[in-house]
Structure 1
Amino acid sequence: MASRDEERFRIKPGAPRRPDGSQSGKRAQRFVSQVLKQVSKAGAKTSGARGARPASTFGRGRVAAGMKGQGLKTDARRVTIKSRFVVLKKAGANSVSTHLRYIERDGVTRDGERGQAYGAETDTADLKAFEERGKGDRHQFRFIVSVEDAGELENLRGYTREFMQRMTTDLETRLDWVAVDHWDTDNPHTHIVLRGRAGDGRGKGQDLVIAPDYMAYGMRLRASELATEWLGPRTELDIRQGLLREVEQERLTSLDRTLLRQATGDIVDLTQQPKDGQRQTVLRARLQRLEAMELVGRIDANHWRLSPNMQQTLTTMGERGDILRTMHKALRGQQRELVLETAPAIPVFGRIAAKGLADELNDRSYLVVDGIDGRAHYVRLPVGADLAALPVGGIVEVKPAGRERAVDRNIAGIAREGLYRSVDHLAQLRQEGAPDPQTAVDAHVRRLEALRRSGVVERMADGVWRVPPDFLSRSHAHDTQRTAGGTIELRSHLSIEQQVRAQGATWLDHQMVGDARELSPRGFGVQVRDALQSRIDFLVEQGLAERSGSRVVLVRNLLSTLRDRELAAAGKVIQHQTGLVHRPLRDGVRANGIYRRSVQLASGRFAMLDDGMGFSLVPWKPVVEQRLGQQVSAIVRGSSVTWDIGRRQLGR
């Protein structure tokens, strides 16, 4: 019987499920990618090798990626290359300048001096000019090249230039790049920033697209080839000593990667390569060490079962060891309890003992905070944090991510029938006898405006917002997403030693007038106690405090008095420099003008508003920096300021 077309059917397999059987959540890894990953673990070679996966036909350098490395032997010098492809539009307006400023930072040379960028033909590259040339680029490449024996290279700069010249040949175009050598770690390395635009040659002026295989293998093999030419091949003794050093390490090593590649399922068979007896002996020693760490299990003398989480555990242990070394170096022998929680569960106050990048390639930074609780904390900063704005010795507060805010609870409690009205809130606060009801309402309005821009609430009219029934959970989710890892607030750019005799309202003064935090009887807490006593002595000298036995009596409005004194002194200096008249702010009076610059004082950071005839100094807020050179206005009420930028009102 003939079958009809409509009776035919085809099997359409669904997308492969994840190991746990689920399909929800993050997009599951493509099945082909999973297969290729397992093939690679089983020992697959780079593109171009017989029996390997097909070479990529996408981008420049694919031919070189297939050919390079065929002449390299096991005694070749090892080179690690970390690479990052950065889409500039997604990375943000300041991504390039921040990265370039970081790689040329202080303390990275052999002599501990500031790094100097160089290029193919100059020893003093102009990073601003490089950034300007790349403003229209779609993307940028960032590399870290680390030769295992870089300390033996007499001319690391010359090595980098020759390496980039060989890349130029492979990619068939002139490359526009800058580099900075870093000698501030155990492994000297070079940061290279490459523009994503082809130069002279094929495809001049087009986007520079590099083949994935060249990024993954070709560059590393080129660098290894060059290092072997410059330093000569490794001797058998060098190779053996290098492997023996890895046996005891509590981190992921090349020996562990070899074991993971050789494993069938999760079983390692040491009889697979009987000819390489020396390497098998080292692998056996590493397995015994991993057995003591409970990361492998012995089946018999030649067969071992790897723990499913072995790779992740060793990676985490390596990171933990790096953090401990960083903290010990930052504390310089001072005894502290070390807290390695990268995202604290409770607020942390203290001085910045050290700062840097935990991940140099991706600009992920960290602080070591010597806390007033007597402990030292390692804190990972949110992505995009500006390390330059956090001086070593300054005082910071680290706030946990996603904490419920009191202002949100107030909004939810005041809203009636899903609407928050600022007029009703103001009337309620006045009835309750609040000391400054208008400032309190302004703070709630600023919070609602921030949530409106994220779609959490809706503004119906001036002073009226629609608040959803699940407002608290949605606002909490909003904060958690924005402050993953916590938020960092600089409380003072001055060290406590500098604050003792400072003229403005310092962090120490805030500790004496209502913002006091519990100080530990050990560590940095003791140093803060001593600094507070010295600060009191200074205030007594200035007639702003007096001692009565064991008691200390401060003058009324101490903070505003200190702040006004400092602003008056700063105003005189600026008035002399600019010829403009300083106009001290009056409470509740609007200040207007063009935002010219910011001024960092002991009392905080202030924005200079120029109205053509005079200027005012107004408490600064980060969002104002986007309006540099533009007309803005602000109203100061007590210790809070409300900025008016177009239709947006921002304050603190």
Structure 2
Amino acid sequence: MRDDEFEPRLGRIGRGKDTWYLNKVVKAARRAGMKSGSRSRRFDGSRIGRGASIARVLRSRDRLGSFRSRRVIVKMRPVVLRGKGIGGARAHLSYIQRDGVTREGQPGALYAADRDVADGKAFLERSSGDRHQFRFIVSAEDADQYQDLKPFVRRLMRQMEEDLGTRLDWVAVDHFNTGHPHTHVVLRGTNDRGDDLVIAREYISHGARQRAIDIVTLDLGPRTDLEIEERLRADTAEERLTAIDRRLIRDMDEIRIVSASDSDPFQQSLRIGRLQKLGRMGLASHIGGDSWRLEPDLADALRRIGERGDIIRTMQRELTAQNVERAAADRAIYNPMAENAAPIIGRVILRGLADEHADRHYLLIDGIDGRTHYAEIGKGEVVEPIADNAIVQISPRASGVRPVDRTIAEVAAANGGRYTVDAHLKHDPSASERYAETHVRRLEAMRKVTRSVEREPDGTWIITPDHLDKVEKFEARQLRDRPVTIETLSAVPLDRLPNAEAATWLDRELVTDSPIPVRDAGFGHEVRAAQAMRRQWLVAEQLAEEQNGTIRFRPDLIAALQRRELLRIAGQLSNELGVPFAETKLHDEVHGRLARAVNLTSGRYALIERSRDFTLVPWRPVLERQIGKPVSGIMRDGGISWTIGRQRGGPSFS
């Protein structure tokens, strides 16, 4: 270019004089019904991260892929580790190594890329500073044809390293305890440079699965016509949603009528067999000739039936493994959403995974009603550990907008959409600061989970007019993650309660004015026998007396038993710590350092260390994050009112 001066003319690009003819051509093409060659695509972030380009290639090849390819399911999800996440990672790693997952019924063994026995503790230590990790399940339909799954998994992970352009740090466990052998893989969320490993969502959804399909198809060969036909014939008798059902639903008309005929004789035999099975299940009706009418919501109904069948098989398998004999009629699936759903009380037989990919757990409960209950309890990370053989009560969890939410909305509406503790106290002079702080904790919970509310640097909360709608969405998510409330009635097994020198669940049931009905069957029969033994022990200890065939208990029975155990355990702790124990009485002030929690048969207590002695006071969940910190409080009838920290005006908890 020359150095001559020039005068720029501002305007839109591509608006020259010669574009009028092109515009006329485009308009004419649109009028003729032709689609534009350039299609706008909304940005969704699915191609951000490693593996995006290879995922697009694999996905396009998948659309054109052969139906003879072996079928593989790969479910992958990222999990945040910061905060409480590392505890969840530890629990997940422990669970996938649980007993009974190998072919021989032994605990699972972790392995890695270069060793058959990996160190899970070392893996967690390396992961302690990671932002996230990836957990995924690899399940090949024909995995039972592999003598050992390790070579297959290692080849898949090596292929993923090539696709993602980095070395991967992972451990895995093979499971053979279900009808379909599968592998759990835990992958660190860092690359070989120590930076965060970001995998494109498109690769997570499609790329890894297609790589696994390629490997299995290469190992076992393409599916033969005979294999494909056998799979399809087996589907005609399944009590779940199948590929045949999806085709029937696709072919039905607007009044849900579908024909059993097909141009292919084999496909026609499949359709007829499947429609007859659906008819026996009450999900389809023959209306004459080759015409059938499908029931509304057929797909959802089949999914529910399939899930119920999986649950029943799980209950049968686990009860057999635990040597618990219960009749089929005494097995129930607990539905907390059912109308008038009542709590269930019983012994924990097992805690397991209802959905291993989504980390949704269940409890198998041997109830005092003589029945065995399957209860889904939600995401494992939000449910505290529960010991096997513990006695628990499971209740439907309350949900919906609470009075605290309405109060926040009212205070904010009167203060220009802002909520603060000072504004609350000004709006309601009768409210205490402690009461207002419960509203702040509610907002903190919403911000942490859904980020639907904002807090300014000075502590002011921005409350929008649709705040109650946000609360409903927050509660719906909470209910999905934790559908039930679990209360541990006794962490000590039933067989140790009749002679326990402590206040037990049996004692509380014996002295209550409204005892829970106990059926004389199954675990209920064991509870009745334990209650009879406990009455005899209480009489022998002069804590109860028998008069005219009736047992009368001391009015202070529970308090006396609690104090017996407290003094006994305190004596043991005094020898361990080398300082005396000081008993805390009603209205006493408590100041000291929260050392740890102490689990007693009577309940959980907090050990408070002081300069010259220590004390034990009832535990509250709010203390969980305060271990090692100074605390203070006042002993009251219902427990203790805590103030965390020594600073004046620190947060308090009742």
Which stretch shifts more, 277-286 or 507-516? 277-286
Supply the AA of the counterpart residue of 1:327: M
Task: State how far apart, in whole Å, the 2-side matches of 1:124 and 1:292 are.
Answer: 50
The offset of 1:535, in angstroms, is 0.8
Task: State how far apart, in whole Å, the 1-side matches of 2:387 and 2:336 are.
Answer: 20
| 1:254-299 Cα deviation digits (max 9, x unpaired) | 3334545667877767777x46x43443244223322443445668
Task: State how far apart, in whole Å, the 2-side matches of 1:406 and 1:554 are.
Answer: 40
Are residue 325 (structure 1) and residue 313 (structure 2) matched? yes
Hey, what does 1:250 align to over in structure 2?
239
Hey, what does 2:458 align to over in structure 1?
none
Sort the Cα spacing of 1:595 and 1:286 in 2 relative to 1 into closer, same or farther, 3 A.
Answer: same
Q: For 1:380, which of 376, 401, 404 is the aligned residue? A: 376
Which stretch shifts more, 263-272 or 287-296? 263-272
Task: State how far apart, in whole Å, the 2-side matches of 1:223 and 1:267 are.
Answer: 39
The offset of 1:376, in angstroms, is 3.6
Task: State how far apart, in whole Å, the 2-side matches of 1:650 and 1:104 are.
Answer: 39
Sort the Cα spacing of 1:476 and 1:510 in 2 relative to 1 into closer, same or farther, 3 A.
Answer: farther
The offset of 1:145, in angstroms, is 1.0
The offset of 1:534, in angstroms, is 0.7
The offset of 1:578, in angstroms, is 2.8
Supply the AA of the counterpart residue of 1:80: I
Sort the Cα spacing of 1:261 and 1:158 in 2 relative to 1 into closer, same or farther, 3 A.
Answer: farther
Which stretch shifts more, 355-364 or 118-127? 118-127
Task: State how far apart, in whole Å, the 2-side matches of 1:449 and 1:517 are.
Answer: 37
Supply the AA of the counterpart residue of 1:352: V
| 1:51-87 Cα deviation digits (max 9, x unpaired) | xxxx968641532552465996444432222222335
Task: State how far apart, in whole Å, the 1-side matches of 2:109 and 2:362 are.
Answer: 23
Supply the AA of the counterpart residue of 2:134: F
Task: State how far apart, in whole Å, the 1-side matches of 2:500 and 2:294 are.
Answer: 60
Hey, what does 2:498 align to over in structure 1?
500
Taking the TM superposition and a 5 Å limit, the aligned residue runs for 1:173-184 are 173-184=166-177
Which stretch shifts more, 484-493 or 387-396? 387-396
Task: State how far apart, in whole Å, the 1-side matches of 2:402 and 2:530 are.
Answer: 32
Hey, what does 1:290 align to over in structure 2?
278
3-state SS, counterpart of residue 616 of structure 1:
strand
The offset of 1:492, in angstroms, is 0.8
Hey, what does 2:587 align to over in structure 1?
588
Aligned 8 A contact 1:197 1:205 in 2: yes
Which stretch shifts more, 78-87 or 233-242? 233-242
Aligned 8 A contact 2:260 2:275 in 1: no
Task: State how far apart, in whole Å, the 1-side matches of 2:317 and 2:364 are.
Answer: 10
Hey, what does 2:568 align to over in structure 1?
569
Task: State how far apart, in whole Å, the 1-side matches of 2:367 and 2:119 are.
Answer: 39
Hey, what does 1:334 align to over in structure 2?
326
Hey, what does 2:181 align to over in structure 1?
188
| 1:214-259 Cα deviation digits (max 9, x unpaired) | 3333322322222233344444443333322221111112333454
Are residue 80 (structure 1) and residue 69 (structure 2) matched? no
Sort the Cα spacing of 1:617 and 1:252 in 2 relative to 1 into closer, same or farther, 3 A.
Answer: same
The offset of 1:314, in angstroms, is 1.1
5+ residue gaps, structure 2: 1-39, 408-423, 445-467
Are residue 118 (structure 1) and residue 123 (structure 2) matched? no
Aligned 8 A contact 2:326 2:372 in 1: no
Sort the Cα spacing of 1:325 and 1:70 in 2 relative to 1 into closer, same or farther, 3 A.
Answer: closer
Q: For 2:54, which of 43, 57, 63 is the aligned residue? A: 63
Supply the AA of the counterpart residue of 1:608: L
Hey, what does 1:487 align to over in structure 2?
485
Task: State how far apart, in whole Å, the 1-side matches of 2:586 and 2:190 are.
Answer: 54
Aligned 8 A contact 1:178 1:193 in 2: yes
Task: State how far apart, in whole Å, the 1-side matches of 2:401 and 2:47 are.
Answer: 52
| 1:309-342 Cα deviation digits (max 9, x unpaired) | 2221111111112222333445533236444243
3-state SS, counterpart of residue 379 of structure 2:
coil
Taking the TM superposition and a 5 Å limit, the aligned residue runs for 1:467-478 are none
Supply the AA of the counterpart residue of 1:146: S
- What's the % identity of the aligned pairs? 37
Hey, what does 1:310 align to over in structure 2?
298
Q: For 2:350, which of 354, 360, 370 is the aligned residue? A: 354
Hey, what does 1:164 align to over in structure 2?
157
3-state SS, counterpart of residue 233 of structure 2:
helix
Task: State how far apart, in whole Å, the 2-side matches of 1:367 and 1:236 are.
Answer: 42
Task: State how far apart, in whole Å, the 2-side matches of 1:58 and 1:416 are.
Answer: 49
Q: For 2:217, which of 191, 208, 228 is the aligned residue? A: 228
Task: State how far apart, in whole Å, the 1-side matches of 2:500 and 2:382 are.
Answer: 25
The offset of 1:378, in angstroms, is 2.8
3-state SS, counterpart of residue 614 of structure 2:
strand
Supply the AA of the counterpart residue of 1:285: G
Aligned 8 A contact 1:593 1:631 in 2: yes
Relative to the length of structure 2, the TM-score reads: 0.74
| 1:515-568 Cα deviation digits (max 9, x unpaired) | 652323333333322211111112223232222231112234111221122122
Sort the Cα spacing of 1:261 and 1:613 in 2 relative to 1 into closer, same or farther, 3 A.
Answer: farther
Aligned 8 A contact 2:518 2:528 in 1: no
Hey, what does 1:8 align to over in structure 2?
none
Supply the AA of the counterpart residue of 2:441: R
Sort the Cα spacing of 1:637 and 1:110 in 2 relative to 1 into closer, same or farther, 3 A.
Answer: farther
Aligned 8 A contact 1:296 1:307 in 2: yes
Hey, what does 2:455 align to over in structure 1?
none
Sort the Cα spacing of 1:532 and 1:286 in 2 relative to 1 into closer, same or farther, 3 A.
Answer: same
Sort the Cα spacing of 1:82 and 1:255 in 2 relative to 1 into closer, same or farther, 3 A.
Answer: farther
The offset of 1:449, in angstroms, is 4.5
Task: State how far apart, in whole Å, the 2-side matches of 1:84 and 1:403 are.
Answer: 28
RMSD after superposition:
4.1
Task: State how far apart, in whole Å, the 2-side matches of 1:474 and 1:513 are.
Answer: 44
Aligned 8 A contact 1:60 1:209 in 2: no
Task: State how far apart, in whole Å, the 2-side matches of 1:627 and 1:57 are.
Answer: 39
| 1:163-214 Cα deviation digits (max 9, x unpaired) | 2112212222211222122223222211112223332xxxx44443334443
The offset of 1:422, in angstroms, is 7.8
Which stretch shifts more, 385-394 or 562-571? 385-394
Taking the TM superposition and a 5 Å limit, the aligned residue runs for 1:534-553 are 534-553=533-552
Task: State how far apart, in whole Å, the 2-side matches of 1:221 and 1:404 are.
Answer: 42
Task: State how far apart, in whole Å, the 1-side matches of 2:172 and 2:496 are.
Answer: 37
Aligned 8 A contact 2:55 2:206 in 1: no
The offset of 1:642, in angstroms, is 2.5
3-state SS, counterpart of residue 653 of structure 2:
strand
3-state SS, counterpart of residue 574 of structure 1:
helix
Hey, what does 1:142 align to over in structure 2?
135
Supply the AA of the counterpart residue of 2:356: E
The offset of 1:507, in angstroms, is 0.5
The offset of 1:107, in angstroms, is 3.5
Aligned 8 A contact 2:54 2:207 in 1: no
Sort the Cα spacing of 1:375 and 1:206 in 2 relative to 1 into closer, same or farther, 3 A.
Answer: same
Aligned 8 A contact 2:331 2:373 in 1: yes
5+ residue gaps, structure 1: 1-30, 37-54, 424-444, 457-471
3-state SS, counterpart of residue 389 of structure 1:
coil
Supply the AA of the counterpart residue of 2:501: Q
Task: State how far apart, in whole Å, the 2-side matches of 1:612 and 1:114 are.
Answer: 46
3-state SS, counterpart of residue 605 of structure 1:
strand
Aligned 8 A contact 1:580 1:615 in 2: yes
Aligned 8 A contact 2:79 2:132 in 1: yes
Task: State how far apart, in whole Å, the 2-side matches of 1:259 and 1:197 are.
Answer: 46
